Amino acid sequence: MFGNFQKSCLRIELEASAKIIGESLLRPENFRQWLFPQQFEEKLPDQLASGMTFTAKTGLITVEHHVDMVSSECVRLLLHQGIDGYHEWYWGEGWVQSRLEGISLLPLSLGQTFALLRLREFVENQED
């Protein structure tokens, strides 16, 4: 893999319950909305589960995601192709944390920051 090794860990507060945050991260129908313009394959289950693999495209860049672990308060994705590394999400009442490490030509921390801001906007407009 070509690129630079990058790592970033960001945590933000948001006005949403842990349930809403979790549903926003684990349900494809939700993360398709706030992760736009990323395009995800059409046939995904209602919720992410350990062991599944799916792809996302942003323009010409494809990233394969393998769901390594899922619980009620975290998800760990192993990344391949456009990013070789992993992305972990942790959440609770009123907060979310994203930890990303990998090798890529893409500016990972910029994309991560943008995703967290979009997530905040999305969850704060949801109702329990």
Residue 128 lies in a domain: no
Q: How far apart are CA 46 and CA 37, in angstroms?
A: 20
Residue 70 lies in a domain: yes
User: Is 64 within 8 Å of 80 (Cβ atoms)?
Assistant: yes
Domain carrying residue 118 = 4-123
pLDDT of residue 119: 97
Tell me how many domains the chain contains.
1
pLDDT of residue 26: 98
Upper half-sphere CA count for residue 70 (Cβ side, 13 Å): 14
Name residue 99's beta-bridge partners. 9, 88
User: Is 91 within 8 Å of 26 (Cβ atoms)?
Assistant: no
* pTM tops 0.85, yes or no: yes
Instruction: Give kind and range of the element (H or E) at residue 83.
Output: none
CATH code for the domain of 28 = 3.30.530.20
Residue 16 lies in a domain: yes
pLDDT tens track of the chain, all 128 residues? 679 999 999 999 999 999 999 999 999 999 999 998 899 998 899 999 999 999 999 888 999 999 999 999 999 999 999 999 999 999 999 999 999 999 999 899 999 999 999 999 999 998 76
Residue 103 lies in a domain: yes
User: Is 10 within 8 Å of 98 (Cβ atoms)?
Assistant: yes
